[in-house]
Structure 1
Amino acid sequence: MSTMRFVDRVLRRRRATVNDVALEAGVSRGTVSRVLNGERYVSSEARAAIDAAIAKVGYVPNTAARNLVTQRSGAIGLVVHEPHSLFVEDPNIASILLGANAALSEADYQMACLIADTRRDVDRLARYLSGGLLDGVIIVSARTSDPITSVVEKLQLPAAFIGHPVDISTSAYVAIDNVAGAREITSRLVATGRKKIGMIAAALDRDSGADRLAGFTEALGGDVDPSLVAGVRLYSYSDGQAGMRELLERHPDIDGVFASSDAVAAGALDVLTAAGRSVPGDVGVVGFDDSSWALRCDPPLSTVHQPATELGRAAADAVLRQLQGEPVEPGGIFLDTPIVWRASA
């Protein structure tokens, strides 16, 4: 018999059923169903017999059929509203993803990762969310008046935001205090004796970017020369380079910089080095995130620690609790952001 004929024969073989498992294990069909559905009140001996029977008869649960009964897909979406390039570059997104996936895996849920870059992506994602293919969503980097937010709330999908856009209504969210973190790291920079401190302010169209700018402004007494703030689009290395060039052009004597992310700070450091400015001798530089970028910098970067993995896990837990019928926790969940002081300032 040829290999292909053998494969065809195997594929046509009757699929093992719950009845086959029950017969092999010597238990009732109901007992098998209880084990498959994760219910308790089944003896350890029966569970062991059922597990052995499943392996022997080659039983594979019919997930599609089960989903029709439960009205659940068994999948949670992680929606990242960022350009594709930043999804690869930003280690915080990877850490959020891993934290969320760990929590969902423990609860036997599958995570579906969805990236919304262009308007076309957003429209396609809105249609996808409307198709009932996901039981809930975790949303990263939502903007104010984000169309994805509107779709999620209209569908009443169990959801948790990482961050706190002002228009998310009563949805669950997990966040850090970006204002306090930015204020504290800027104050530490001021305490080193710097006299002319600027900021490379990224992502001002979302709560994290706007809040970090607010914290920087508060640390300087609320009166900041607008020319000492370079606004850039993304938390990216290249935007950090562009922002630092802008600040040096306006203020060649600048002696301190708060970069609104570690990736932005890394870009700023390279521009300062190319311009012959030593760090921290001529210019003190601080960042935000305590990501892998911070340790790649030379010198290592003083920064605010953002617990990205824990944010992902907490957001996944919030969605899972909603699926179990628990109410959304009022006021959101806030995680600590300690300062990590290194050699760059």
Structure 2
Amino acid sequence: MPPERTRPKAATIHDVAAAAGLSRGTVSRVINGEPYVSEEARAAVESAIRQVGYVPNTAARNLKTKRSRAVGLIVHEPHPLFLEDPNIGAILLGTNSVLSKADYQLVSLIIDSERDSDRVADYLGGGFVDGVIVISARAGDPIGRAVTAMGIPAAFVGHPPDLEGIAYVGIDNVHAAHAITERLLLTGRRRVGMIAAALDRDSGRDRLAGFRSALGERFDPELVVDSPLYSYRTGLEGMRELLKRAPDIDGVFAASDAIAAGALDALREAGRSVPADVGIVGFDDSAWALRCQPPLSTVRQPADLLGQMAAQRVLDQLDGKPSAPGGTMLDTEVIWRESA
């Protein structure tokens, strides 16, 4: 039989002190980032840590400080959409960039079912994270209610309609949807419909409101189809339905770029040319927009900055900085390309 492998003994703070030629207390102050340590002592400790291979016991430190040094990112989307939607990835990376600089760990928590909601709520109550950022919270969302009831430092990307007094970061979806629909109408389109989505969220509901306000008296509810998700399949099936309802449709506002991509393929299978027969616009200016042929006219929203700002709102709360509850609204921009 091969000899049993034994794990090498981990270096301790005493080993660091011996290698540095300093007291354990001085080493402890350096490791914990405390003041009143000379630069010479700090350099000696850091050199000794590298020499002996010391790894701080974060579990013990967290027990002492009652902090986990972790922030949860709760994404309330089905698993396939989590992988399909580039905005979620951009928000995640933006969030991580801010947390990393503050020495916090990002913990991703994906909710795909009611069971997930219960599990994540129990996890939050266990003190495993110091704060949370919530993406895609719906009206009546149990996680949103649990977060506010716990009083845990939190920020939402978007603004759940039934939660007041919360910190959130978002965009003016009404204004942005109005602006791009108005631009589409200026191309001379007369029969303009919308493939809407996520009407149980502020983003979906507000994009529909902006579309409706841009059309005014020309708005026809029969030219609006909707689905729960911002997905490619929503666009594919929604465009097929719009063509059944209005074969003469010549303009479409898709509530996201992924939806617009599906709509483009439905138009292609129906033998409709874009933009000659139908002009189509999307929303997000995500990777979908440039993958499409023709490239999408769309609304650019700063997904990475949304994540950064939400993370900073949580860190401010953890640091005890005064911050009045309420929203931070970021700018959007209409990006005009060949699809319309």
Q: TM-score, normalised by structure 1?
A: 0.95
| d(CA) in 2 for partners of 1:214, 1:204 | 10
Q: What is the CA RMSD across the aligned residues, in angstroms?
A: 1.4
In structure 2, the partner of 1:54 is 49
CA distance in 1, matches of 2:134, 2:186: 37
**What corresponds to 1:134 in structure 2?**
129
Deviation at 1:328, TM superposition (A): 3.1
What SS is found at the alignment partner of 2:155?
A: strand
Q: Which amino acid aligns with 2:43?
A: A
Match of 1:108 in 2: 103
Q: For residues 167 and 27 of structure 1, what CA distance do their matches in structure 2 show? A: 57
Query: 2:159 maps to which residue?
Result: 164
8 Å contact 2:169–2:329 — kept in the other structure? yes
> Relative to structure 2, which stretch is displaced further, 67-76 or 18-27?
18-27
Q: Deviations over 1:181-229 (max 9, x none)?
A: 1000000000111001000001111110000000001111165211010
Which runs of 5 or more structure 1 residues have no equivalent in the other structure? none
**Deviation, structure 1 residue 50:** 1.0
Q: Is structure 2 residue 19 aligned with structure 1 residue 24?
A: yes
- Return the alpha-carbon distance in structure 1 between the equivalents of residues 227 and 110 of structure 2: 21
Q: 2:254 is matched with which residue? A: 259
Distance 1:45 1:253 in 2: 78
**Deviation at 1:144?**
1.1
Match of 1:226 in 2: 221
8 Å contact from structure 2 (residues 165, 326) kept in 1: no
Q: 1:318 aligns with which of 288, 313, 320?
A: 313
Match of 1:308 in 2: 303
Query: Conserved in 2, the CA contact under 8 Å of 1:171 and 1:328?
Result: no
Number of residue pairs matched by the alignment: 340
Question: SS where residue 107 of structure 2 aligns?
Answer: strand
Find the aligned partners of 2:171 and 2:35 in 1 and give their Cα distance.
Answer: 38
- Tell me the equivalent position of 1:275: 270
Task: Within 5 Å, give how 1:186-205 maps onto structure 2.
Answer: 186-205=181-200
Rounded to whole Å, the distance in 2 between the matches of 1:123 and 1:222 is 45
1:271 is paired with a residue of what secondary structure? helix
**Percent of aligned pairs with the same residue?**
65
Which of 136, 141, 150 in structure 2 is aligned with 1:155?
150
- Residues in 2 aligned to 1:272 and 1:248: alpha-carbon distance in whole angstroms: 9
The structural deviation recorded for 1:146 is: 0.7
Structure 1 residue identity aligned to 2:176: G
**1:342 is aligned to 2:332:** no
Moved more, 255-264 or 158-167: 158-167
CA displacement at 1:126 relative to structure 2: 1.0
Q: Is the 8 A contact 1:142 1:206 kept in 2?
A: yes
